[in-house]
Amino acid sequence: MQRGRQRHKFESAFFVLLAIILGALVLVVHMAKRLFEETATVARLDGIDDIARISILAAMLVGTAFLFGLFLYYPLVREQVREDERLRAMADALSERSESMELAALTDGLTGLKNRRFFDEALREYIDAFRSVGRSVGLVMIDLDHFKSINDRFGHDIGDEVLRTVAYRLAGLARHHDVVARLGGEEFALIVPNLNYDQLVSLVETMRISLAGSPVSCARGQVAVTASFGLALWNGSERAGDLYRRTDRLLYAAKNTGRNCVCA
């Protein structure tokens, strides 16, 4: 739309220029006629030929400029405008494709959540940004309990459906600025900024209860799903990798404790 308006403005300006040249031509002819009549009136016949020649020459020059602009310059410039539009459209298409590829590179193809690459970068950025302002960053790691048995019993297609449903529920319970990611397999993670310990535990308990209390409906029946949760708050000084490893240990403590629980 914007390119169309730009082309319309250019063409309008060009035709205005041609109208000005044409007007100048008419004016030259008119002035030449008046000068010719005035010269004849005062009997200065010896200058008539010179004035006529100058007038004709001026008219020819203006007319030549008009024809040059209309038949030579205008087609060239119009083609250049079209070429610029084609190049601009190509650049826009490449930019959109690049953005789509970048989005795909940061998104889990199965669940639509953010992937491990995005999660790692986001965790580092949150910690770097919050280090100077003293705000909290919570990390939650989630592992579905006995997921292998779900695949073995119902098949991998049902297992994929379970993963998609779990992802949907986790994303629905998270806040809009939380980062919900699938790290791989049956493992998920959340980055939760600006919550204290009690608030973080409450959020995670809500997620655990939601998963355990709502079996996944599929073509082969109801699939019970529970998960183990490990959560930790950033201590204000540790690096992203240190926080990740600490939370991962808490996740495995939850699995070793009996699963379907939260360890913080």
Which active-site residues does the annotation give? 186
Cα 232–Cα 136–Cα 114 angle in degrees, nearest 5: 70
Buried residues in 79-101 as b, exposed as e (16+ CB within 10 A): eeeeeeeeeeeeeeeeeeeeeee
**From start to end of the chain, where are the E strands?**
137-144, 179-184, 187-193, 216-218, 221-223, 227-233, 262-263
How far is Cα 132 from Cα 129, in angstroms, rounded to an integer? 7
81 phi, psi to nearest 5 deg: -60, -45
Q: Are strands 179-184 and 262-263 parallel, antiparallel or unpaired?
A: unpaired
- For residue 164, give Cα distances in angstroms to 5, 11, 161, 209, 242: 45, 54, 5, 18, 29
Q: Which amino acid is at 126?
A: Y
Residue 111, SS3?
Answer: coil
How far is Cα 221 from Cα 247, in angstroms, rounded to an integer? 34
Residue 194, SS3?
Answer: coil
